[in-house]
A and B are shown apart, each in its own frame.
Chain A
Amino acid sequence: DGGITQSPKYLFRKEGQNVTLSCEQNLNHDAMYWYRQDPGQGLRLIYYSQIVNDFQKGDIAEGYSVSREKKESFPLTVTSAQKNPTAFYLCASGPTGTGAYEQYFGPGTRLTVT
């Protein structure tokens, strides 16, 4: 079955620790995205990548880092520099080309930092 997997579903960390969230897709999409969702808020774009070995900052990239070494994978690292890391993180992927295409989302990872 094609889709996007994110692991783990729930993640707990102590303040000051870096943590990496996994995102894998087998939809053969070129583009991948990371969004953050806070309670009662919409999704905000953290980083996105349109092609392997290239990525761009979104609206709230500070305190986060990403890599895109493989087409299928786009891990997100939440660093200790992120002031409010507790949130729901959603990964998405989509095709590229002329026009804007819908993005397909994974099940999300709920990160709690104490």
Chain B
Amino acid sequence: AQKVTQAQTEISVVEKEDVTLDCVYETRDTTYYLFWYKQPPSGELVFLIRRNSFDEQNEISGRYSWNFQKSTSSFNFTITASQVVDSAVYFCALSEAFGGADGLTFGKGTHLIIQP
């Protein structure tokens, strides 16, 4: 069975600090997909990134970067120079479906608090 673990329940940092959110996953498949979502206080999930298991290149998008390491089954998310608007709950998720339309398995989320 697949599983996603986000061990950090809550992280609090001061604005402009860098912060890394950890995500460890378990799966028996060789083909799988990993996702990060942001849930602001409004409640709606916002898609951030999708990565497939064959692409281990790290990705950078503005202040956001993702480090995918198959050797440690991790897909960590770093926010550089954090801002108050980054405060939210962040979820890591996994899909094993090659067909593409099954549901996602989510971690329990990390509540990120950016203090001004």
Contact = CB atoms under 8 A, between A and B. Distances in A.
Contact of B35 (A44, A90, A95, A102): A102
A88 B107 CA distance: 16
B33 A103 contact: no
Nearest to A9: B43
Nearest to A44: B106
Interface stretch (B13-21, B66-74, B75-83, B90-98): B90-98
Contacts, number: 81
Chain B contact residues (Cβ within 8 angstroms of A): what range?
Answer: 20 to 34
B52 A106 contact: no
Interface residues of A, number: 33
Nearest to B103: A45
Nearest to B107: A42
A33 B103 contact: yes
Interface string A79-114: 000000000101010111111111111111010000
Nearest to B97: A100
A98 to B, nearest CB: 6
Nearest to B36: A102
Contacts of A33: 103
A50 B6 CA distance: 28
Contacts of A106: 44
Given A30-B101, A98-B98, A101-B50, 15 more contacts: A31-B101, A42-B108, A42-B109, A43-B104, A48-B101, A96-B100, A98-B100, A100-B32, A100-B50, A100-B52, A100-B96, A101-B101, A102-B35, A102-B47, A108-B44
Interface of B: 4, 6, 9, 32-33, 35, 37, 42-47, 50, 52, 91, 93, 95-109
28 contacts: A30-B101, A33-B103, A35-B103, A40-B9, A40-B108, A40-B109, A41-B109, A42-B91, A42-B107, A45-B103, A48-B103, A95-B101, A96-B99, A96-B101, A98-B98, A98-B100, A100-B32, A100-B95, A100-B98, A101-B50, A101-B100, A101-B101, A102-B35, A103-B47, A105-B37, A105-B44, A106-B44, A107-B44
